[in-house]
Structure 1
Amino acid sequence: MLDENRRPFMVVVVVLAVVLIVIGGVVLFRGGGSETTLTVQSIPNDLTLKLDGHEIPANGEVKIKAGTHTLEGSRRGFQSYTQTFTSGSDRLSYKMFLYANSAEGREWAKNNPEQQREAEAEAGRRYDEVQARLKQKYPILSQLPYVGDGFQATYTKSKSDPTNPEAISIVIEVFGPQGRTKALQWIKGYGWDIDTLDIIWTTGK
């Protein structure tokens, strides 16, 4: 009778042990740390979206761990785009909008005008955001273009960091023997640090 009473107890113990092992395995597989939700909206809505190299749905929600992650969007006929971001415990949302760079992509845009308009609006918003960050990073932009005594100042994409969309070079074209000196006086007069500016000097005719 004692053995018969112990048998159900042992079965329960074994089942509990298996459950704990499975749960432990899942936690170990998923790793520790806080978790949050990333909501993604993509245009085109049938693009291929990868998170840290693993394909995920182009639209919807996905659970991610806190840390640095990389989103990659690609589709034939469109320019691919990669975005790196850092997540914490707060919910995140991201719009992965690609822009047509071939006849196939432009044909898709023609056949999907609503999505195309949304992509264009997003492009405008992103442009404004980049310009705002550039003006904060480079106060000199508020004065460009500028024509001074013997020089002209404009800007272009960074010569030292050409792949960074938020880095610029200041182009100063000198027209006379005093042009360079006058340009440096102009820069110092506004309190800008010459050492922080990527300056391209050119000579005008």
Structure 2
Amino acid sequence: MVVMTEEPLTGGNNAMEVVRVGDTVRRARDAGAAFAARVLAQLESAGYPHAPRHLGIDERGRDILSFVPGTTTDHPARRAPGAYAAGGRMLRELHEATAGHALAAGRECVIHGDPGPFNTIFRQGLPVAFIDWSSCRPGGRLEDLGYMAWTWCILSQGRVPPVEQARHLRELRDGYGAVETVLLLDAMERAQSRIVDAETANVDDPTLAPTRRRHAEAAVA
């Protein structure tokens, strides 16, 4: 009998169990797992290439996902020219692939819900896939794009000049296409406010793991 080694995967903000087993990822299921599996199945049938494939549930009740090789990034220095435009196109293609589908439940589309660079796999500095689909849900395009623009482009640390941050934001906006700047800026502000409100509540939530509560404190700060 072949015994497959489980390799813990880190780098995101989720405290749930996520391990690599061969060419698959095994992820503990949460409240959003069933919907995420349906979304990933729809994306596969639509030919969307920027997401892992849902391969079923293992004997321990964990989701089985295809492993997407690459790394996440936490600083623009780790991203190649064209990365922001490519990321914008990836998000637009997701929204187009789910617009009008039953999974969108009457909203504009299905949104990823957490498309930060920490949930994006890069290869050679360019984005290739979004991972961690547990927050996907019916929603509006600008809700997703505003969050992505904030988390990808706006940095309070890392010594990135504001003029560079603005350039990255314009590139991401143009990569997504067909969005007015003022609407995007408003969406970014709303995204930040949602995160502050949610993470403020998480800081004092005794049901959360200590590592998750520490992340909440850092997110608010």
Same fold at TM > 0.5: no
TM-score after normalising by structure 2: 0.28
TM-score after normalising by structure 1: 0.29
More strand by share: 1
| Larger Rg belongs to | 1
